[in-house]
A and B are shown apart, each in its own frame.
Chain A
């Protein structure tokens, strides 16, 4: 290929890579499927003259529209939600309930709270509080609402939302009491009867956990979530639209990367079955789907993640390789402008250059890539997670593990989730080490087995070092708080990694030099 053309393509690739690195995160924010659904809801509301005939459908529409408004700041969605909420106010009974039904009251309460969060108008909070008081009044002594898991779960969810808005302990206490009953109904496999019951329960328990920071029902919620992920269908759904939306809503609410694949599949499924007009057939389903997908995006890219996703390294790697390629072209295209021997003749001295062992390099790189691929499996992350959890237990730091996530209570009673993702698996440092060391060390003279042995030992050292570093980081979080965790993880971590990399590099060079010397002696 023409060199100029090749250079141009490389430059173009580099520039586009950089631009993509800057623009892609910005492009990720808009949610076209959600907006299309929300637009459909607004149009539908107009045709119904304010609110739909299905009460639950109306409330889901309000919840969904509010959620989309928070992302887009499009006033149309808020106006539509407010319109719906105003209609709800008219439907509220004198005792505070909605149609004197627990489920309707819970959904009415939840949607009023959402509108209150965006408008700040006291009228919605007052109405919600009245609904909350009605719910407290109908709670059974055991904590349940009508002895049904579903009713109890949505009531817990609604009361938790109300507690977040009003900060009144009575709602929180009622919710915790109800959650206690809910947990007692959980089956040994983690489910709460059916998919919808389980989804609602998981969402309620997790939400309560987030709001109170120390709910005793985490394990129950995690077990429920695990059951849910296990019964997901191959196409990403959980059966009906309602079940799928609820399950997606609940699993997203956990915010755990363990369920990243399951939630992504569910979101894909919902987008696949979305109609061309943006709806999911009915107002209720559309409202649910919009809320669930919005929740998925909130927790997939939102603020609750303790360890942020790092878009940098892949881009950096691409740029690094690109620049390297450019340099290689530069080296290969260099020509000598002046030749001494042509002018003077005589002897010349070419500095001793080694003939590179290309096969060794190929084998070394293949081994590094293979190991990196293995480290990208989620099962490996789970092993790393359990190893760290064991270390923490040895250090008397109470924790429990869900998939590749360690959950622990800090000494100040706040909650912390540490997720072991690909960045924490050691793959990054091994890639850097491999990229620096293998192309430099493997081409040198010396037997392949020495180099492979060195690479193997280096990888073991690197991975062990990574485990120790991660454990120390979590320990620092436990004893010194989240700031210490962030400082050590982001700032000190890379410097600590430097130590093993340099030491292993030195060991490699020394080994090769010694082997070469030994071989030279034998020849003599």
Chain B
């Protein structure tokens, strides 16, 4: 009885820790004035050679717009190197990249024709060609600011910084309810979560894109791990375990094309959940044991690594609740009730509670998007199922030694419409086809 008491109390304590964490993040992002300084990059005289990696597989709808944007970057071109990696595309992606490489000497193309494909492998091949002191990477469907490279690289002046991460905002927000929900999640995740983590010297997460590393560091870490689905989370913890820090730069914004339907949402989140859980199993013990990482970083890192298990716990709680309908509720019902209460308020949305997302929208000076916040309940319920399935599948695959095959998110270039509209309004030429 005492053991069950302790387990339940521990569970509730963990959930409370998440709630307090989000609460503290929200307050920090909104009011904390002593956070880390955010430097205006172009004032600083620090322009190391930068290699930008652009992995792409069958991205003919979107690859042109990011290559076009690479040519418009304000970073000195003599210190810039863009490496487009055509990961065995069967469409026009290779041809488009070749066309750009012929015109612009700082754009190179790596064609990966044979061997297993995948983003990590493509990035590793690109890394072999990179000569820059700093390596940044962007996904093919992304659309960065013109001065984003300056904003990101200036942080490498600090010898402690091993990686940087910029902000991701959704380009095709108006497309569907799903893209709107993803927008809200992104607002909560970046405008509040990442800002607060950076301000509080915790662990800002490297998101796999719109960011980069010192080349020497990423090479010493062995590049991107192709066997882990969440290679970004994997690298985040590897950087910290190696004794470096990651900085988040909210000012360095980049558009992404968000998923538009629930099935894509499911596939993408399933991959993240499973990958994140893999990372939790790989790094949790090393994180706790590490002497290079401070106490609060360890606390934050542990919570960050375990976050995809929270929906699984909620699923278990629901299961127990349904069971209680058929049998006489046991003596611990009140504790259970209390824990469900805490679950409800700490985990709604994609692992950010409603108040955090609302505050992010407020800080972004958004006015109408608040009204969609109750719709996050749908994503919350869905995430319970996604994460539970990912957890069960991961456990089974460990038993059977199966490997999960990567399901690529399809980008159909719908975001081009918004960019073209914006271009016309500004009187500039059309950016994309």
Which listed residue (A308, A331, A436, A437) contacts B333, Cβ 8 A? A308
**Is A432 located at the chain interface by the 8 A CB criterion?**
yes
Q: Is A320 within 8 A of B9, CB to CB?
A: no
B154 nearest CB neighbor, chain A only: A340
Tell me if B46 and A344 are in contact (CB < 8 A).
Answer: yes
How many residues of chain A get a CB closer than 8 Å to chain B's CBs?
67
Inter-subunit contact B370/A353 (CB<8 Å): no
A502 vs B358: C-alpha distance in the bound complex, in angstroms? 10
Q: Which of these, A491, A502, A510, contacts B367 with CB under 8 Å?
A: A510
A490 partner residues in chain B, CB cutoff 8 A: 321, 324, 329, 333, 336-337, 340
- Find A498's partner among B5, B32, B324, B344 (CB 8 Å cutoff): B344
Shortest A439–chain B CB gap in Å is: 7
A514 CB-CB contact with B under 8 Å: yes
Select the stretch in B17-25, B79-87, B140-148, B174-182 that faces chain A.
B17-25
CB pair B377–A498 under 8 Å, yes or no, is yes
**Chain B min CB distance to A442 (Å):** 11
In the complex the two chains form, is A439's CB within 8 Å of B39's CB?
A: no
Interchain CA distance A351-B194 in the complex, whole Å: 13
Interface of A (DSSP majority class): helix
When the two chains form their complex, are residues B157 and A343 in contact, meaning their CB atoms are under 8 A apart?
yes
B311 smallest CB distance to A (angstroms): 14
- Quote the shortest CB–CB distance from B370 to chain A (angstroms): 5
Q: How far is the CA of A440 from the CA of B337 in the complex (A)?
A: 26
| Complex CA–CA separation, A18 to B14 (angstroms) | 13
B355 and A327 within 8 A (CB) = no
| Binary per-residue interface labels of chain B (150-194) against chain A in the complex, 1 for a CB within 8 Å, 0 otherwise | 000010011010000000000000000000000000000000000
Instruction: Report if B359 contacts A (CB, 8 A).
Output: yes
A449 an interface residue at 8 Å Cβ cutoff? Answer: no
For A340, give its contact among B24, B37, B251, B337 (CB under 8 Å): B37
B332 CB, min distance to chain A CBs, angstroms = 10
Pairwise interchain contact B250-A351, C-beta atoms closer than 8 A = yes
State whether A509 and B361 are in contact (beta carbons under 8 Å apart), knowing that A343-B157, A440-B26 are contacts in the complex.
Answer: yes
Q: A327-B24, A436-B345 are in contact. Are A349 and B38 (CB under 8 A)?
A: yes
In the complex, B100 has a CB within 8 A of chain A: no
- The one of A22, A348, A350, A487 in contact with B324, judged by C-beta atoms closer than 8 angstroms, is A487
- CB-based contact A311/B334 at 8 Å: yes
Residues in B whose Cβ lies below 8 Å from that of A50: none
In the bound complex, how far is the Cα of B199 from the Cα of A347, in angstroms? 19
Chain B residue contacts of A18, Cβ below 8 A: 9, 13
Give B18-47 as 1s and 0s: 1 = Cβ < 8 Å from A's Cβ atoms: 011101101110111111111110011110
- The reply to whether B337 and A494 form a contact with Cβ atoms under 8 Å apart is yes
Residue of A nearest to B320 (CB): A491
Query: Is B401 part of the binding interface, using a Cβ–Cβ cutoff of 8 Å?
Result: no
In the bound complex, what is the Cα–Cα distance between A514 and B43 (angstroms)? Answer: 36
Please give the distance in Å from B395's CB to the nearest CB on chain A. Answer: 26
Measured between C-beta atoms, what is the minimum distance from B34 to chain A in Å? 7
Using known A-B contacts A324-B20, A436-B345, A505-B354, determine if residue A309 contacts B324 with beta carbons closer than 8 Å.
no
A216 beta carbon closer than 8 Å to chain B: no
Q: Range of interface residues on chain B?
A: 35 or more
B201 — which chain A residues lie within 8 A by C-beta? 334, 337
Q: What residue in chain A is nearest B30 (Cβ atoms)?
A: A354
The answer on a CB contact under 8 Å between A331 and B37 is no
CB contact under 8 A between A334 and B34, given known A310-B337, A344-B46, A506-B373? yes
Q: How far is the CA of A320 from the CA of B329 in the complex (A)?
A: 27
Contacts of B362 in A (CB 8 A): 444, 509, 512-513
- Is B157 a contact partner of A320 (Cβ separation < 8 A)? no
Interface flags for A481-519 (1: CB within 8 Å of B; 0: not) read 001101100110011011101110110011011100100
Closest B residue to A346 by CB, please name it. B43
Whether A319 is near chain B, meaning CB under 8 Å from some CB there, is yes
Chain B contacts for A387, CB-based, 8 A: none
Q: What residues of B have a CB within 8 angstroms of the CB of A513 in the complex?
A: 362, 365, 367, 370
As a 0/1 sequence over residues 372 to 395 of chain B, the CB contacts with chain A under 8 angstroms (1 = contact) are 011001000000000000000000
A356 on the B face (CB < 8 A):
yes
CB-CB < 8 A to B377: which residues of A?
498-499, 502
State in angstroms the CA–CA spacing of A486 and B327 once bound together.
11
With both beta carbons as reference points, the residue of chain A lying nearest to B20 in the complex is identified as: A323
Contact with B along A309-328 (1 / 0, CB 8 A): 11111001001100110011
Chain B proximity of A392: nearest CB distance (Å): 22
Chain B nearest Cβ from A450, distance in angstroms = 14
Partner of A22, one of B6, B251, B334: B6
Closest B residue to A435 by beta carbon equals B23
Give Cα distance in the complex from A151 to B402, angstroms.
Answer: 80
Let me know if A234 is at the binding interface, CB within 8 A: no
Chain A nearest CB, measured from B345 CB (Å):
7
B31–A316 contact, CB under 8 A? no
Is B262 an interface residue when CB atoms closer than 8 A count as contact?
Answer: no
The A-contacting residues of B in range 322-352, CB under 8 angstroms, are: 322, 324-326, 329, 333-342, 344-345, 348
Once the chains bind, are B325 and A486 in contact (CB under 8 Å)? yes
- With an 8 A cutoff between CB atoms, is A90 at the interface? no
A338 sits at the interface (CB 8 A): yes
Q: Which residues of B contact A180 (CB under 8 A)?
A: none
What's the Cα separation between A497 and B342 when bound, in Å? Answer: 12
Does A257 touch B at the CB level, under 8 Å? no
Are the CB atoms of A312 and B43 closer together than 8 Å?
A: no
Assess whether B370 is in contact with A509, with CB atoms less than 8 Å apart: yes
How far is the CB of B352 from the nearest CB of chain A, in Å?
13
Knowing that A313-B338, A323-B16, A483-B324 touch, tell me 20 more A-B residue pairs with CB under 8 angstroms.
A311-B334, A344-B157, A346-B44, A347-B43, A349-B39, A443-B30, A483-B325, A484-B325, A486-B324, A486-B329, A490-B321, A490-B336, A494-B340, A501-B345, A505-B358, A506-B370, A509-B359, A509-B361, A509-B370, A513-B365
Sorted from nearest, which 6 A-B pairs have the closest CB atoms?
A312-B338, A491-B321, A346-B43, A323-B20, A327-B24, A487-B325
Q: Which residues of A contact B (CB under 8 A)?
A: 18, 21-22, 308-313, 316, 319-320, 323-324, 327-328, 330-331, 334, 336-341, 343-344, 346-356, 432, 436-437, 439-440, 443-444, 483-484, 486-487, 490-491, 494-495, 497-499, 501-503, 505-506, 509-510, 512-514, 517
20 A–B contacts from the bound complex (CB under 8 Å) = A22-B6, A312-B335, A316-B342, A334-B199, A334-B200, A336-B36, A339-B37, A340-B44, A340-B154, A347-B39, A348-B39, A351-B35, A353-B30, A432-B341, A437-B355, A487-B325, A491-B324, A506-B374, A509-B358, A512-B362
